[in-house]
Structure 1
Amino acid sequence: MRSMKRRTFLSLMGAAAVSGSLMLTGCGRSADSDDRKIIRIGHVQSATHPDHLGLEAFAAHINEKLGDKYRVEVYPSELLGSQTEMVQLTQTGAIDFVVASTAIMETFSRQYQIFNLPYLFSSVDAYHAAMEDHEVTDPIFLTTSKAGLETVAWLDAGTRNFYTVKTPINQPSDLKGLKIRVQQSPTNVEMMRLLGGTATPMGFGDVYTALQAGILDGAENNELALTDNGHGDICKYYSYDMHQMVPDLLVANYEFLQGLSAEERAIFDEGFQIVKDTERAAWEDAVAAAKDKAENEQHVNFLYPDTAPFQEAMAPLHGEVLAANPELQPVYDKIQEYNAEYTA
């Protein structure tokens, strides 16, 4: 059903581009009675996910403060297409915002590679403190304006860990020969190579079917993937190797942002903070609920391996990325300051 809705929506978008007569167009104007611009936000998560709750709070804020000019609509569960498709639609202005992964943004700017580095942060506190520092984020978030995109907020996505159908992962060698879905970025592919596994990049919406069909032996993500996306129905081992702490990103169409007045932009900036605050407040409870359901209803086994061998195996990636992108060194050094302040 979701795939059918998505195909129907994208078909309508194509028709609108040709005729200019349907409601959904790049300018986002309603075709019926009202002249307000419709601001469309797409994401891949469910309507109960913390990302969606944050976006709904953002929508309520903008609709209240600027409801005479704008109407915000939030589309969960890939209703506007896959994440890659939605980023492309945001580039063109067909939609206005998308929640995107750092892996996809890495394809537009190599600077995003730094956030995909395994074991970049020493603790959750270091991660949160660094991501709130504009000296860390601005040199990355503002690099895609020429591509028509700008990251306006980061959302907590917890820690990424390996989960598998049949093979418990207690050490890197357990990954040898396993086909593991990773996000579509060169950094994540190289991460799997260093661990001895076989990286299988694919869109998030295709993972469940691939696990079910045996195309994949496992994947890597936070705990909510087990329950919100049903992966725990198939994968029975979840291993806390904690290889990444990477944010989700709220990415805007750059031209839309530039078209806002100073007063409007101030209200939108308030909204971006509301997204972050609402999402983060919901995150901890969502993870606890997901873990409880996965353990007691889906019968997922949670494993707690020594992370040191994983860190050792993936350590070369830091040097490789910094050597290829020397302009990232100041950002990396700033993150190390937070790691020293907020140790694990």
Structure 2
Amino acid sequence: MKKLLGCLTILLLLTASVPTLSFAAKLNFGHIAPTFHGMSKGIDVFADYVREKTNGKYDIATFPMGQLGNERSMASQVQSGSLQIAAITTAVLQNFVPEVAILDMPFLFPNRATAYAVLDDQAVKDKIFSYLPKKGFVGIGWVENEIRDFSNTKHPVRTPADIKGLKVRVMNSPAYLDTFNQLGASTVGIPFPEVYSALQTGVIDAQENPLMTAVLMKFPEVTKYVTNTQHALTECIIIVNIDFWERLSPKEQQIFREAANLATQTNRTRNAEIKQNLPKLNMSIEEYCKQHGVELINLTPEEREAFRVAMTPVWDKYRGLIGDDIFDFMLAKIKEHKQ
């Protein structure tokens, strides 16, 4: 009996000596961007920075193009702890944390410069990220797809009325569906890889995606009218499983936050470069559209304002859903940083 107790004691001592974080040395970071995209480049820089600054303690493998599942699935995986890190668009994350839907309000930001200034405001990060821990997430930074635009096969779009009656493929997000339903469109749910053929065959008349994405997917071959509506910024939050995060030391947490800031800047810079020199095409987006006979429309400030006013019922609905506090806070910050 004494011999058995002695063996058990030794076993317990050996078990206690195993570092509690040894399982986390190999981490996975999931996202949906293709490898050439600015988001993917930013996330790769994130992984490299963490590996370097922690002397290899945390080796992050990145998984682009939804290799670990769609965004809703990856968010659930981070929530459960089976995935440590992911970049999830607020359009999807709002299904878990309703308050982040504020960033998907149509025509919220007057321009890109203002959007970036607001998002880089530490008080904005602190406010929006404060809603995440109760759902098992920690937000540490931003990456993005791009600002969303509108293309269709029927006619030029310059006013809200021009969208009425069009069959529009819309991302499966409550805020985006509400936006186009309010404009009188017939919203259609089609998987993204099927959008080109759906436009080509007339199953849908229009789609809404960043123009850069549309060009890279060759949508202008089958949609000859493109409007730079810039109706929403497809922003993603880098989320970390809360239990994993709380096991990191304060110094390690700071390294992860620094990596997220670096990913943000890399993402934005790379996206700007792509728009001026499309991969494998060696031309700008404007040149590509011209070459394919696409009418590219840039809205005037007055035309954009007409769209924003048309979105009042959508804003009112979400104010009721997510509260005056976050709504008024964001509108004040946009006014503060307007450029």
Classify the TM-score, shorter chain. Answer: 0.7 to 0.9
Q: 1:154-165 counterparts in 2 under 5 A?
A: 154-165=142-153
**Radius of gyration: which is bigger?**
2
| Equivalent in the alignment of 2:59 | 71
How much is the aligned-residue C-alpha RMSD, in angstroms? Answer: 2.7
User: In the alignment, is residue 147 of structure 1 matched against residue 144 of structure 2?
Assistant: no
**Partner letter of residue 301 of structure 1?**
E
2:317 aligned with 1:320: yes
The alpha-carbon distance between structure 1 residues 92 and 165, as it changes in their structure 2 partners (threshold 3 A), is farther
Structure 2 residue aligned with 1:129 = 117
2 CA distance for matches of 1:341 and 1:144?
25
Q: Deviation per CA, 1:169-215: give whole Å up to 9, x if none.
A: 22222222222222322222211121010223455455445445543
Quick one: distance in 1 between partners of 2:82 and 2:34?
22
Percent identity between the aligned chains? 25
Q: Which residue of 2 aligns with 1:302?
A: 296
**Partner of residue 85 from structure 1, selected from 69, 73, 87:** 73
In 2, Cα distance between the equivalents of 1:54 and 1:217?
A: 34
Partner residue in 1 for 2:9: none
Match in the other structure for 2:308: 311
- Which segment drifts farther, 194-203 or 104-113? 194-203
Instruction: Name which of 22, 42, 61 aligns with 1:54.
Output: 42
* d(CA) in 2 for partners of 1:89, 1:263: 25
Cα deviations by residue, 1:83-125 (Å, 9 ceiling, x for unpaired)? 2222222222232222211111110111012111112122322
Give the Å deviation of 1:268.
1.2
Mapped partners of 1:155, 1:56: distance in 2: 12
**Normalising by the residue count of structure 2, what TM-score does the alignment of the two structures yield?**
0.81
Q: Distance in 1 between matches of 2:30 and 2:193?
A: 14
| Aligned: 1:224 with 2:212 | yes
The CA distance in 2 between the partners of 1:239 and 1:152, in whole Å, is 33
Q: For residues 293 and 39 of structure 1, what CA distance do their matches in structure 2 show?
A: 41
Q: Give how far 1:50 is off.
A: 0.5
CA distance in structure 1 between the partners assigned to 2:204 and 2:288 by the alignment: 20
Check if 1:239 corresponds to 2:224: no
Q: Deviations over 1:128-159 (max 9, x none)?
A: 12112233232322323233222221124442
* 2:331 counterpart of 1:336: yes
Give the secondary structure class of the aligned counterpart of 2:231. strand
Q: Which amino acid aligns with 2:332?
A: E
Gaps of 5+ in 2: 1-19, 279-284
Secondary structure of the residue that 2:277 maps to in structure 1? helix
Quote the Cα distance in structure 1 between the aligned partners of 2:196 and 2:240: 28
| Residue in structure 2 matched with residue 110 of structure 1 by the alignment | 98
Residues 138, 338 of structure 1: alpha-carbon distance in 2 compared, 3 angstrom cutoff: closer
- Any stretches of 5+ residues in structure 1 without a counterpart? 1-26, 30-34
Verify: 1:253 aligned to 2:241, yes or no.
yes
Q: Is the 8 A contact 1:49 1:228 kept in 2?
A: no
Q: 1:52 to 1:36 in 2, by over 3 A?
A: same
Letter in 2 for 1:126: T
**Pick aligned residue for 1:172 from 146, 155, 160:** 160
